[in-house]
Structure 1
Amino acid sequence: MRELLPLTPDRVADLVGACAPCTFWQTVPRNGQADPREPGELLLDWVETVMADWGPPGRVAYVDGEPAGHVLIAPARHVPRLAAFATAPSDPSTLMLLTAMTLPGQADRGLRKALVQTAAKDALHHRSRSLEAVAARPLAVSRHACVLDAPFLEKVGFRVERDHPAYPRLRMELRTVVTLRDEAAAALARALARVPGMRPVPETHPNGSSHAHVTHPD
């Protein structure tokens, strides 16, 4: 059984992988000195701050009740480390995908992709038009394990917005996600309309999209 639950302060301890706990995106060393607080404490403070301003900054994945991965997402104004990248967005409200991490073996089962897809749905819920990420090209991945790899993002629907030899900024246009979903729903409705005894009925969701569910004749 797989669950992807909102990242809340009580779930910070369930973050997994090489970047847990990790405050790479949440901090910037000042005069060569890092924040003296423990990473777990810093991350907890960050989650509370983002929640108060915007909402849960990600999801934690559980497989059979055990933590198996997580994804972090937040507006650029809450990501201090972006200032260290030449490709950082200029708009502080830009929604950023920061990390998508799973335990060994889970990525092969599609969990990492599912985490990114869920982050995109959360972005849609916040009425964002796009989701962006500063990513690492293959030669730079080993230098920053907490920076998402560009090839993976391109496979799941991101495209280069601002290029860079090592750290390009990529974007996923969320209206494309909505369009593909609605086209799939329309195709299903057309197929059901050709099946005797099936009558698709449009169902509208709070986000404005519609899909068809099936009713049987009385």
Structure 2
Amino acid sequence: MGRRLVPLTLDNLQDLPRRCRTCVFWELDPVRGEAAVREGRAAREKESWISAVLLDWGSCGRVVRIDDVPVGFVLYAPPAYVPRSAAFSTSPVASDAVQLITAFLLPAYRGQGLGRVMVQTVAKDLLRRGVKAIEAFGDTHWKEPACMLPTDHLLAVGFKTVRPHTNHPRLRLELRSTLSWKEDVEMALDRLLGAVQKDPVLRPL
């Protein structure tokens, strides 16, 4: 039974929930994003964005698979590829950092430590590529899965606030503080995922 975090590509883009495959909140600026949704071309814009980042920069996401079933994903990229980030009053993301854009897990798999494993896997990838830090915009009023990540979750997995804000603080994770993760990611993944009991029926997204 496979338990893996595999790179996001155009071939496995369909493993993302449908609403995420058609969401361009981060990938386009607010005006272009609203136009893409209104004109019914958001899915094409999402695919074009992923294709461009893969070609220009490399891997920009991971899909979480348990027993070959996709149960979640994480998306990240340098801030130059994330137009929406400029719209936040706590921007810009630091030039030495990559932005953790968004992440998602099916309800049946939450609360098992997978969120931390996802961040660890991103950190491992970025450390190999010489990146110094990960930054993210948190949502302090997060109530349900959306485009933004809950501030409390980011703090719980090691991020620290570098630009406070009532609604959307900017947080940072120094990758040098995660060096001990590098050797433990695969072991932690096996241990954490091995303890997960999969629901026989998952609610549709």
Q: TM-score range by the shorter chain?
A: 0.7 to 0.9
Q: What are the within-5 Å matches in structure 2 for residues 38-77 of structure 1?
A: 38-77=41-80
Superposed displacement of residue 90, structure 1: 5.4
Check whether the contact 1:2–1:64 (CA below 8 A) recurs between aligned residues.
Answer: yes
In the alignment, does 2:35 pair up with 1:34?
Answer: yes
Structure 2 match to 1:133: 136
Segments of structure 2 that go 5 or more residues without pairing to the other structure are 185-205
Q: CA–CA distance in 2 between the matches of 1:171 and 1:16?
A: 27
Structure 1 match to 2:20: 19
Q: CA–CA distance in 1 between the matches of 2:95 and 2:177?
A: 23
Q: Which moved further from structure 2: 9-18 or 48-57?
A: 9-18
Q: Which amino acid aligns with 1:43?
A: K
Superposed displacement of residue 10, structure 1: 1.0
1:95-127 superposed Cα distances (whole Å, 9 cap, x missing partner): 000111011121222222211211111111211
Q: Which moved further from structure 2: 70-79 or 28-37?
A: 28-37
3 and 171 in structure 1: CA distance in 2 versus 1, 3 angstrom threshold: same
TM-score by length of 1: 0.75
Structure 1 match to 2:99: 96
CA RMSD of aligned residues (A): 2.4
Q: CA–CA distance in 2 between the matches of 1:31 and 1:166?
A: 24
Q: CA–CA distance in 2 between the matches of 1:81 and 1:66?
A: 31
Structure 2 match to 1:215: none
In the alignment, does 2:92 pair up with 1:112?
Answer: no
Q: CA–CA distance in 1 between the matches of 2:144 and 2:104?
A: 16
TM-score by length of 2: 0.79
Q: Which amino acid aligns with 1:167?
A: H
Structure 1 match to 2:176: 175
1:61-115 superposed Cα distances (whole Å, 9 cap, x missing partner): 1111111100000000000111210112255563000111011121222222211
41 and 183 in structure 1: CA distance in 2 versus 1, 3 angstrom threshold: closer
Structure scoring higher RCO (CA < 8 A, sep ≥ 6) equals 2
| Identical aligned residues as a percent | 39
Structure 2 match to 1:149: 150
Q: CA–CA distance in 2 between the matches of 1:2 and 1:182?
A: 18
